[in-house]
């Protein structure tokens, strides 16, 4: 989870028993987006974000051919409950390799 994610999303997924790593728990607050994405990639984790700047960093890496773990993005207007449902589904049904070098958007269709 990027540091800009609504805390209710993280807590709900953790209550469901999903393995969630938060930026706040892993790296210093205010770490620049490129480093956040690098760290998620080092950990082999898909990164969920609601931050437009991080979305731009992922798009830049796609253009430049720089590998990254993958990003799931939801605009701040997407309901917290919908983010929780969709992220739980992704965590249970997908493999991280399916997201490599890609950006996926919530809500899922």
What does the pLDDT look like over 19-50, one tens digit per residue? 999 999 999 999 999 999 999 999 999 999 99
**What is 66-96 written as a DSSP string?**
-----EEEE-TTS-HHHHHHHHHHHHHH--G
Taking only the tens place, the pLDDT of each residue in 47-87 is 999 999 999 999 999 999 999 999 999 999 999 999 999 99
pLDDT exceeds 90 at position 108 = yes
Q: Is the pLDDT of residue 9 over 90?
A: yes
- pLDDT classification of 7: cutoffs 50, 70, 90: very high
Reported in sequence order, the residue ranges of 1-109 that DSSP labels E, i.e. its strands, are 47-49, 71-74, 103-106
Instruction: Supply the pLDDT for residue 76.
Output: 94
pLDDT for 14 equals 97
pLDDT value, residue 109? 81
96, 44 in Cβ contact below 8 A? Answer: yes
């Amino acid at each position: 989870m990027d540091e800009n994610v609504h805390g209710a999303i993280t807590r709900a997924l953790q209550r469901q028993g999903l393995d969630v790593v938060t930026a706040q728990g892993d790296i210093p607050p205010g770490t620049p987006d490129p480093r956040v994405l690098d760290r998620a990639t080092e950990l082999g984790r898909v990164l969920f974000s609601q931050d437009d700047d991080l979305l731009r960093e992922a798009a830049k890496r796609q253009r430049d051919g720089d590998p990254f773990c993958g990003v799931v993005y939801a605009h701040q207007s997407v309901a917290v409950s919908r983010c929780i449902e969709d992220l739980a589904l992704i965590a249970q049904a997908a493999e991280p390799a399916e997201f490599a070098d890609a950006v996926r958007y919530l809500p899922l269709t």
